[in-house]
Amino acid sequence: MKAIIVDDERLARKELISLLGSHPEIEVVDEAANPDEAVEKIEKHDPDVVFLDIQMPGKTGFEMLEEMERVPQVIFTTAYDEFALKAFEYNALDYLLKPIQPERLTESLNKVNIKTVEKPSKQQKLGSKDQVFVKDGDKCWFVKLEDVRLFESDGNYIKVYFDKFKPMIHKSLNALDERLDDRHFFRASRKHIINLGWVESIDTWFNGGLLVQLKGGEKIEVSRRQSARFREMMSL
């Protein structure tokens, strides 16, 4: 499988490459010394896994991921960062402490093996198997889009509902709507995008609108204009 190493230190990259030497199944396709370079190379190669340093010039590894639309599987590498280690609340693949222990590296790589069974689709739109990186305050999550029940706009932010969390991301709902695959996500109203896979029940509502209840318990009104489309989609 393909890997990219992102670290601002040449020697740190070299050390990791030499450690990966004993894992012939891993092919290091490229290296990047800063986040900007990294984004470009990740988009170009679409690697299975990215080894990402957290402290880098210009931007942290977290900030880089936040700006990416579709994030790859990430293994963080850091020398010592209590804050960073506490940050992973949900679904982080793994992190490695430098200098890296070979056994820990093997463990991490095993986690990648299992996950790559379902490779992210390379289609233009974001599919349900793609994951996004969400950071809210001190906490970080890697979230598969299929796990997201609802996007709710709140001023300049969007609340992302999954599991028992609803962190905020700085984005507009319209921009997000354009990027999401409309076979899985439906724009219910000016304020909401729902995941069709999470719909529990549908009731009629005032003025020819609909009220959708999600499996997480949220009740979302579908505007009258969108209700016709929604009926059409669900009846198919």
Residues near another protein (CB under 8 A) are 8-12, 14-15, 18, 34, 55, 57-58, 79-81, 97-100
Smallest distance, Å, CB 213 to another protein? 45
Smallest distance, Å, CB 124 to another protein? 31
In this structure, what token pair is assigned to residue 187?
A: 């724009």
Three-state SS for 117? Answer: coil
First to last CA, the chain: 38
Nearer to another protein, 18 or 124 (CB): 18
3-state secondary structure 2-43: EEEEECCCHHHHHHHHHHHCCCCCCEEEEEECCHHHHHHHHH
In this structure, are residues 211 and 177 in contact, taking their beta carbons and an 8 Å threshold? no
Task: Tell whether omega for the bond before 99 is within 30 degrees of 0, i.e. cis.
Answer: yes
Smallest distance, Å, CB 8 to another protein? 8
Nearer to another protein, 18 or 123 (CB): 18
Smallest distance, Å, CB 104 to another protein? 13
Nearer to another protein, 19 or 168 (CB): 19
Nearer to another protein, 23 or 125 (CB): 23
